[in-house]
Amino acid sequence: MQEKLSIWSLIVDASLVVQLIMLALVITSFISWVMIFQRRSAIRAAQRSMRAFEERFWSGADLGQLYREVSQHPNENCGAENIFRAGLKEFTRLTQQGKADPDVVMNGIQRRMRVAMSREEEKLEKHLPFLATVGSTSPYMGLFGTVWGIMNSFRGLATQTTATISVVAPGIAEALITTSIGLFAAIPAVIAYNRFTAQSETLLSNYETFADEFSSILYRRLHAL
């Protein structure tokens, strides 16, 4: 009885539909774990780069010199640096065109920094929709496999003269394995999605704060010209 109810034997003896669902869930779980580790590494790199760049920015270094340094060795993982380069590049371009209205110049700078911020948002939210999809659909896929397995169990009972636990148990166990695989795929994806979303929102909030502060600095410099 124990041999018949081993997990591997239940998977092998499962119906084709249930096996396909199990395979899809295992593949989905593997892909989601790859994306989880990738997102974890990317967000940590963005956090470290943000702290390092802010230390350089607020150390009192000349903005022109800082711009030249980060342009020579750009760090694409640093959102604040990308926003800084976009803003100062637009500031330089507009001020070199001659006497321009300060409000027009500031509107152009802020618009350029918003574009850069949108690109950083896309980077931070990469793969998050997939994790959300896995977290929301995997339990239903597992449930579908469970329903299918239980249905097959009851169909098998129809051919039996007596209904005993030894007859019902394999089909029920097969069905519950599908549910467990679905939960195994969904739970890490949901946890990772919520965590990465919160971290991304924190980073984006920091980027917005930096952009506002940088705009104030450029506004004062613009009126000092």
Q: What pLDDT is recorded for position 32? A: 94
> Quick one: pLDDT at residue 3?
46
Flag whether 19 is in a domain: yes
Per-residue pLDDT at 186? 92
Complete DSSP assignment for 192-211? HHHHHHHHHHHHHHHHHHHH
Residue 2 resides in a domain: no
Is 115 contained in some domain?
yes
Give me the pLDDT at residue 20, please: 86
Task: Give residue 142's pLDDT.
Answer: 86
For 210, phi then psi, to 5°, come to -60, -45
Give the mean pLDDT per block of 10 residues along the chain (225 residues): 56 74 90 94 91 86 84 85 90 75 83 91 90 91 82 68 60 76 91 94 92 88 71
**Domains of the chain: total:** 1
Residue 96 lies in a domain: yes
63-91 in b/e form (b: 16+ CB < 10 A) is: beebbeebeeeebebbbbbbbbbbbbebb
Cβ neighbours of residue 157 closer than 8 Å, sequence gap 6 or more: 163, 167, 168
- Indicate whether 88 belongs to any domain: yes
**181 in any annotated domain:** yes
The helix or strand, by DSSP H or E, that contains position 134, with its residue range, turns out to be helix 128-157
Query: What range defines the domain where residue 37 resides?
Result: 7-224
Question: Residue 151: what residue type?
Answer: M
Pair of tokens at residue 133: 């999809």
Residue 193 lies in a domain: yes
CA–CA separation, 188 and 196 (whole Å): 12
Does residue 50 fall inside a structural domain? yes
